[in-house]
Structure 1
């Protein structure tokens, strides 16, 4: 378990990313619910979603509704489950565009609140990606309002630089930062975001920790990762997740899953320990 930011809330050291369950290649709903239930069975208490995890605009909030349905149907205790959602991206014709319009964010926050059950505040609401048409202060104003209204409990940001995080924190309290981070994209190590999160006590959630659907198959081609997986008798995915967690205690990976076997494998990474020398081997193999 890890602490969420500087709050008194704890979350599992590895979360479940919901996106693969709601895109155009989504599995049948019963399979997705089975995945979520299995994740809960094995101790996952953080589920990451977004209003834009859907096929297109007509399908908005699909993943949030799916997660809520799975939680309602779960036979066990879900009182400690934290659902982190996001808003600020649109899905016109299946594409991805930014929308930081305060009126849109105000509307989508309320829609997310309803999609997630409408009975308690959204655990974590994250501004999905800054929109250059609006200042961060303008876009986060309705978020601050929603916290006061009781629609949102905690706030996070996604795809933000250090400077943007600082500006966001001047508007509203921030507990988490979700930026891309994987063996092919190590920018958070070099742009100061990871260091800033660790210093300031913010949880860092790497999105696409295994490289996304286009790259995940290529992990076997990275010699150091494949060799370490063989040496430790674990999957290459375990090695990558363990490498990310070894980078900083504030890192909580959120690998996506649409199969039970995928989340079962991801969770095993918490038991994989990498030495400083092994981390360095992966670093050397993944230099740009």
Structure 2
């Protein structure tokens, strides 16, 4: 496993997005725990979650509690694992997502997340999404207060524009360490945010990094499939999955990138983690860039 810098420490170059383990169509707890343990076995030391990663009403924090149980049951050392969580969104249980990034709500949410995770201080706490009903400076100001209070050790922002990143950086200073936006082979409109994150020395954490790569191609009957996108063709040449190629391509975009692929079974997370050790040639990267 290769490593990159986040929150003034080293974490695995590929993290795990734990959301699929708690939302609709989630696996049973046995498989969910096995998936988290497979990530740790593969060298993953960054796990991404949120208090809103749950399915039914009344189970806020389901994913955080699941991760806490998985870490407690793991046989090895987990002291180096960074669990990054988020606040500012909600799920009423009808399949929808709400936004509530008011300062009071964020302060309570962070305290509740720390309790569920069993932490004295959250290693990385991210504002999940800007709330159009709350001035951005007020939401980010709540992160500043959480930093000052020691409730969180580092802060991040998610689903943001370059202007919002700059304002957050002005308020949080060195306390701001990450930007988490959607970025994948199919969705590349966060290029400006990626460039700015790298310029400011922030980690850029793509969510849904496998968008545009069919999951059906992960385990073809004769190995990786050779049809479809350039990612499939490069995968066939290397004898690996197109998902692994997509993550290796993301890693090559910038040293600031730490992708967060989701997984709901051990095989998927093991395959994703292996992307950190896949080297693509300059010609292959040009082909994938042009896809």
- Report TM bin, short chain: over 0.9
Q: Does the C-alpha gap of structure 1 residues 257 and 196 become closer, same or farther in structure 2, counting only changes over 3 Å?
A: same
Equivalent residue, structure 2, for 1:16: 16
In the TM superposition, what are the counterparts of 1:140-179 in structure 2 within 5 Å? 140-172=140-172, 173-179=175-181
* DSSP-derived class of the 1:84 partner: strand
Alignment root-mean-square deviation, CA: 1.7
Match of 2:239 among 212, 233, 236: 233
**Structure 2 counterpart SS, 1:83:** strand
Check conservation: 1:57, 1:90, Cα contact below 8 A. Answer: no
Given that residues 217 and 242 in structure 2 are in contact (C-alpha distance below 8 angstroms), is that contact kept between their aligned partners in structure 1?
Answer: no
Show the counterpart of 2:273: 267
Quick check: 1:186 aligned with 2:192?
A: no
**1:189-210 residue CA offsets vs partner (Å, 9 max, x unmatched):** 2xx1111111111100000001
Cα shift at 1:215? 5.5
Q: Secondary structure at the match of 2:176?
A: coil
Give the 5 Å matches for 1:87-166: 87-92=87-92, 93-117=94-118, 119-166=119-166
| Whole-Å separation in 1 of the counterparts to 2:123 and 2:261 | 19
Q: TM-score, normalised by structure 2?
A: 0.91
- CA–CA distance in structure 1, aligned partners of residues 247 and 70 of structure 2: 25
Aligned residues: 279
Matches within 5 A, 1:212-227: 216-217=215-216, 222-227=228-233
Structure 2 counterpart of 1:281: 287
Q: Which residue of 2 aligns with 1:199?
A: 199
What is the Cα deviation at residue 150 of structure 1?
1.6
Q: How many Å apart are 1:83 and its aligned residue?
A: 0.3
Q: Secondary structure at the match of 1:58?
A: coil
| Post-superposition offset of 1:218 | 7.6
| Aligned mates of 2:228, 2:255 — CA distance in 1 | 25
Provide Cα deviations, 1:125-163, integer angstroms capped at 9, x if missing partner: 000010111111111222222212221011011011111
Gaps (5+ residues) in structure 1? Answer: none
Deviation at 1:107, TM superposition (A): 1.4
**Residues 192-246 of structure 1 deviation map (CA, whole Å, 9 limit, x = unaligned):** 111111111110000000118x954489664311110110111010110011111
**Aligned-partner SS, 1:153:** coil
How far is the alpha carbon of 1:56 from its aligned partner? 3.6
Q: What is the CA–CA distance in structure 2 between the aligned matches of 1:115 and 1:215, rounded to whole Å?
A: 34
What residue in structure 2 maps to residue 70 of structure 1?
A: 70
Judge conservation of contact 1:56–1:95 (CA < 8 Å) in 2. Answer: no
Find the counterpart in structure 1 of residue 25 from structure 2: 25
Determine helix, strand or coil for the equivalent of 1:25. Answer: coil
Of stretches 273-282 and 41-50 in structure 1, the one that deviates more from structure 2 is: 273-282
The alignment's TM-score, normalised by the length of structure 1, stands at: 0.92
What per-residue deviation string (whole Å, max 9, x for no partner) do you get for residues 68-106 of structure 1? 111111111111000000111111222112111112111
Q: Which residue number corresponds to residue 250 of structure 2?
A: 244
CA contact (8 A) 1:113 1:121 kept: yes
**Residues 176 and 203 of structure 1 are in contact (CA less than 8 Å); yes or no, is this contact kept in structure 2?**
yes
Residues in 2 aligned to 1:204 and 1:183: alpha-carbon distance in whole angstroms: 15
Q: What is the match of residue 258 of structure 1?
A: 264
